[in-house]
Chain A
Amino acid sequence: MNWKNVLLLISADVKSYRLVSGERFRRFRDNRFVTYALYVGACVFGVAIGWVVGNFYSGMGDPQLRELLLQVTINFFLSLPTLALLYGLVITQIGQIQRIGVKASIQPLYWFPITWKEHTLASILANILGLPLAITIFISSGIAVASLFVGVVPLAILTIFALLVSVLLASATTEASRVLQVKLSGAMTKVAGRMVIWVKFLGSLVIFIVFYAVYFSLYRQAASLDLLELIAGGQRMLWFIPYMWHGIALSYFVSGLGFETAILSLASIGFLYAIFLAAVRLNSRFGLYEAPAIRLSLGEYTPRTGVLEKLGFSPLEVAVMRKDFKALTRRSELMSVFMFPIMLAIMPFITVFRGSTDFNSFLFVWLALMPGAFMVMNLGNFMVGLEGASVWYIYSSPITARSLVKAKYSFTVLFSLAVTLVCSIIGSLLAAPSMGIAAIVLTEALFLIFSLGMVSLSFGIRGADFSEFPRPRMIRPKWAIVNMIVCTLLTLAIVSPVVLYLLKLFIKTVQAPLYAMVPISGVIASVVAYAFYRIVLKNAEEFLIRAEG
Chain B
Amino acid sequence: MSHEPTVKIVNITKRYSDIVALKGLSLDVRRGEIFGFLGPNASGKSTTLKTILGLVKPDFGYVNVLGINVEDNPVEVKRRVGYVPESPRIYEFLTGLEFLDLTGDIYGMNPAEKKKRIEEYLEALELEGREGDMISSYSQGMKQKIVIISALMHRPELLLLDEPISSLDPRSARIIKDLLRELASDGVTTIICTHVLEIAQALCDRIAIMYEGGLLALGTMEELRERAKMPESDLEDIFLQLTGTGDIRPVIEALLK
**Contacts from A to B (Cβ < 8 Å):** 291-298, 301-305, 315-316, 318-320, 322-323, 326-327, 330-331, 388-390, 392-393, 395-400, 468, 544-545, 547-548
A294 CA to B74 CA in the complex, in Å? 36
A397 CA to B103 CA in the complex, in Å? 9
Cβ contacts A to B, 7 pairs, < 8 Å: A294-B134, A303-B101, A323-B98, A388-B89, A390-B90, A392-B55, A399-B106
Residue of B nearest to A323 (CB): B102
Q: Which of A298, A318, A326, A390 contacts B89 (CB 8 A)?
A: A390
Whether A392 pairs with B88 at a CB distance below 8 angstroms is yes
Q: Report if A322-B55 is in contact (Cβ < 8 Å); known contacts: A295-B132, A303-B111.
A: no
Whether B105 pairs with A547 at a CB distance below 8 angstroms is no
Whether A301 pairs with B97 at a CB distance below 8 angstroms is yes
Cβ of B229 under 8 Å from chain A: no
Whether B134 pairs with A389 at a CB distance below 8 angstroms is no
Chain A residues within 8 Å of B50, by CB: 547-548
Q: Report if A327-B105 is in contact (Cβ < 8 Å); known contacts: A294-B137, A295-B133.
A: no
A320 CA to B78 CA in the complex, in Å? 16
Q: Which of A326, A392, A399 contacts B75 (CB 8 A)?
A: A399
Chain B residues within 8 Å of A388, by CB: 89
Residues 47-103 of B at the A interface (beta carbon under 8 Å): 50, 53-57, 74-76, 78-79, 81, 83, 85, 88-95, 97-98, 101-102
A301 CA to B98 CA in the complex, in Å? 9
Stretch at the interface among B3-11, B114-122, B166-174, B198-206: B114-122
A154 CA to B50 CA in the complex, in Å? 68
Whether B133 pairs with A294 at a CB distance below 8 angstroms is yes
A250 CA to B146 CA in the complex, in Å? 61
Whether A547 pairs with B90 at a CB distance below 8 angstroms is no
Residue of A nearest to B154 (CB): A398
A78 CA to B131 CA in the complex, in Å? 59
Whether B76 pairs with A303 at a CB distance below 8 angstroms is no
Chain B residues within 8 Å of A548, by CB: 50, 55-57
Residue of B nearest to A293 (CB): B137
A545 CA to B79 CA in the complex, in Å? 15
Q: Report if A296-B134 is in contact (Cβ < 8 Å); known contacts: A323-B94, A392-B85, A393-B90.
A: yes
Whether A544 pairs with B133 at a CB distance below 8 angstroms is no
Q: Report if A318-B78 is in contact (Cβ < 8 Å); known contacts: A294-B133, A297-B95, A301-B115.
A: no
Q: Report if A330-B93 is in contact (Cβ < 8 Å); known contacts: A291-B137, A301-B118.
A: yes
Chain A residues within 8 Å of B83, by CB: 396
Name the 4 nearest CB pairs between A and B, nearest first.
A319-B105, A398-B79, A389-B89, A303-B111
Whether A545 pairs with B57 at a CB distance below 8 angstroms is yes
Whether B133 pairs with A319 at a CB distance below 8 angstroms is no
Whether B78 pairs with A327 at a CB distance below 8 angstroms is no
Whether A316 pairs with B118 at a CB distance below 8 angstroms is no
Q: Mark B150-175, 1 if CB is under 8 A from A, else 0.
A: 00000000000000000000000000
A485 CA to B19 CA in the complex, in Å? 39
Residue of A nearest to B151 (CB): A396
Chain A residues within 8 Å of B133, by CB: 293-296
**Contacts from B to A (Cβ < 8 Å):** 50, 53-57, 74-76, 78-79, 81, 83, 85, 88-95, 97-98, 101-102, 104-108, 111-112, 114-115, 118-119, 130-134, 136-137
Q: Which of B56, B78, B130 contacts A397 (CB 8 A)?
A: B78
Whether A298 pairs with B91 at a CB distance below 8 angstroms is no
Chain B residues within 8 Å of A305, by CB: 111
Residue of A nearest to B55 (CB): A547
Chain A residues within 8 Å of B115, by CB: 301-303
CB distance from A356 to the nearest CB of B (A): 40
A390 CA to B99 CA in the complex, in Å? 11
CB distance from B217 to the nearest CB of A (A): 27
CB distance from B71 to the nearest CB of A (A): 9
Chain A residues within 8 Å of B85, by CB: 392, 396
Chain B residues within 8 Å of A302, by CB: 115
Chain A residues within 8 Å of B91, by CB: 323, 327, 390, 393
Q: Which of B75, B79, B81, B93 contacts A331 (CB 8 A)?
A: B93
CB distance from B144 to the nearest CB of A (A): 14
Q: Which of A298, A319, A396 contacts B78 (CB 8 A)?
A: A396
Chain A residues within 8 Å of B89, by CB: 388-390, 392, 468
Q: Which of A331, A396, A547 has the most CB of B within 10 A?
A: A396
Q: Which of A292, A296, A303 contacts B95 (CB 8 A)?
A: A296
Chain B residues within 8 Å of A295, by CB: 132-134
A296 CA to B78 CA in the complex, in Å? 30
Q: Which of A302, A305, A390, A544 has the most CB of B within 10 A?
A: A390
Chain A residues within 8 Å of B108, by CB: 315-316
Q: Which of A294, A322, A400 contacts B102 (CB 8 A)?
A: A322
Chain A residues within 8 Å of B93, by CB: 326-327, 330-331
Residue of A nearest to B147 (CB): A393
Q: Report if A319-B102 is in contact (Cβ < 8 Å); known contacts: A303-B114, A388-B89, A393-B91.
A: yes
Chain B residues within 8 Å of A298, by CB: 132
Q: Report if A326-B98 is in contact (Cβ < 8 Å); known contacts: A292-B137, A399-B75.
A: yes
A468 CA to B134 CA in the complex, in Å? 18
A330 CA to B92 CA in the complex, in Å? 10
Q: Which of B79, B93, B101 has the most CB of A within 10 A?
A: B93
Chain B residues within 8 Å of A397, by CB: 78, 106-107
CB distance from B178 to the nearest CB of A (A): 25
A291 CA to B90 CA in the complex, in Å? 16
Whether A315 pairs with B79 at a CB distance below 8 angstroms is no
Whether B137 pairs with A315 at a CB distance below 8 angstroms is no
Whether B106 pairs with A319 at a CB distance below 8 angstroms is yes
Whether A316 pairs with B55 at a CB distance below 8 angstroms is no
Chain A residues within 8 Å of B74, by CB: 544-545
Chain A residues within 8 Å of B95, by CB: 296-297
Chain A residues within 8 Å of B79, by CB: 398
Whether A398 pairs with B132 at a CB distance below 8 angstroms is no
Chain B residues within 8 Å of A301, by CB: 97, 101, 115, 118-119, 131
Chain A residues within 8 Å of B104, by CB: 303
Q: Which of B92, B98, B105, B119 contacts A316 (CB 8 A)?
A: B105
CB distance from B159 to the nearest CB of A (A): 12
Whether B131 pairs with A396 at a CB distance below 8 angstroms is no
CB distance from A198 to the nearest CB of B (A): 14
Chain B residues within 8 Å of A304, by CB: 101
A547 CA to B88 CA in the complex, in Å? 15
A303 CA to B112 CA in the complex, in Å? 8
CB distance from B123 to the nearest CB of A (A): 12
Given contacts A295-B134, A326-B93, A330-B94, 6 further A-B contacts (CB under 8 A): A293-B133, A330-B134, A331-B93, A390-B90, A395-B55, A548-B50
A293 CA to B101 CA in the complex, in Å? 20
CB distance from B151 to the nearest CB of A (A): 9
A319 CA to B145 CA in the complex, in Å? 21
A447 CA to B89 CA in the complex, in Å? 38
Chain A residues within 8 Å of B101, by CB: 301, 303-304, 319
CB distance from A323 to the nearest CB of B (A): 5
A323 CA to B137 CA in the complex, in Å? 18
CB distance from B61 to the nearest CB of A (A): 15
Residue of B nearest to A194 (CB): B132
